[in-house]
Amino acid sequence: MSAALAHVTRDPVIEAPRTETSAAPVLPRPLHVPHALHAPDRTWPETNCYVDLWIELLHLRGLAPEAMLGFTLRQDFEGDQFTFFKPKAADIEALYGLEILELALYEDLESHSLIQAARGLPVLVEVDAFFLPDTAGTTYGREASKTTIAILALDPARRFLDYVHNAGRFQLDGADYDGIFAKGRLLPYAEFVKPCGQPLSPAELPGAALALLRRHRGHAPTANPVTAFRAALSGKADAFVQRPLTAFHAYAFNTTRQLGANFELLGSHLAWLTEAGVGPFGEAAEAATRLAQEAKAFQFQLARAFARGKLAGLPERLTAAEATYAAVFDALDRALATE
């Protein structure tokens, strides 16, 4: 076995020792079936790179990602975008016994990734999606775009990388490998995921998730974020929707997609809690799912506004989503009051 392959001896997801000695890369390449939260029939099959990554990392470990999603209650409109929602590190540690630690890159990303992969620890790092084949049709080979992946294993000798991104597990090699680990660039921000305890048992998990949901409810916005989004859009001139299509995609990703995907995940979280028998959250789950659908419908209306170069009447089309947002929290608070 080559010196390079000696570093790649364990699957960072399951931490299973490997003793293969063939010339092929000793890399885990199982058929990966994405979690149900990434099913193609969902309104928003993908959310944002960080949440999607964690859904799949937990799924690969045999853990239930639905339990961590109470943090979605805290999404707000930040003046120019909806909160880029992310799971809380404290929740991940409490529920799954996993700690997120900063990886100091005092040498280079490739060298440090080799060491962490050999320890069975995924490396979370921001990279350029220009070099990610799984983004074919959008950014791959077309344009620079920052995104987060989890490096599971790598083979420098063969320039081969096994990684999690968005809703799946993928591999890349050759020039794409060189692009991800390009020397001489500003070092990226990186983290690694380390077990620090046992995950909660299936019996314990719903109750702990409900406790976190209550805490996140106390930190939810006090004013309706959809109302704030509507006001911000109302203040824009027609020139805003007379820009190139790339401007539409960037704006939609950071507004309608973040809003809709966030609340579809909240709906799934509340449905999971209901099925686990720890609360009557069915009404709130249905309202959250409806808001996700309304955000998708509004995104199509936004696209039409860009196509015709006119904003007239567009902000008013958020009226239903405003009411649905309020309905989510009304139903949620009634359910929590019964506990």
pLDDT tens figures, 183-195: 767 788 999 999 9
Q: What is the mean pLDDT of residues 16-29?
A: 38
Q: What is the mean pLDDT of residues 76-89?
A: 98
Which two three-digit tokens encode residue 120? Answer: 């069975």
pLDDT tens figures, 145-183: 999 999 999 999 999 999 999 999 999 999 999 999 987
Please give the Cα distance from 308 to 295 (Å, whole number): 20
State the pLDDT confidence band at 29, using cuts at 50, 70 and 90. low
List the domain boundaries for the chain.
3-62+98-195, 205-337
Model confidence, pTM: 0.90
pLDDT tens figures, 320-332: 999 999 999 999 9
State the pLDDT confidence band at 10, using cuts at 50, 70 and 90. very low
Nearest to residue 103, comparing CAs of 86, 89, 90, 122? 122
| Confidence (pLDDT) at 13 | 53
pLDDT tens figures, 259-317: 999 999 999 999 999 999 999 999 999 999 999 999 999 999 999 999 999 999 999 99
| Confidence (pLDDT) at 184 | 62
**93 sits in which H/E element:** helix 89-96
* Under 8 Å between Cβ of 18 and 26: yes
Which two three-digit tokens encode residue 129? Answer: 């999606």
Please give the Cα distance from 215 to 334 (Å, whole number): 16
State the pLDDT confidence band at 30, using cuts at 50, 70 and 90. low
| Confidence (pLDDT) at 152 | 97
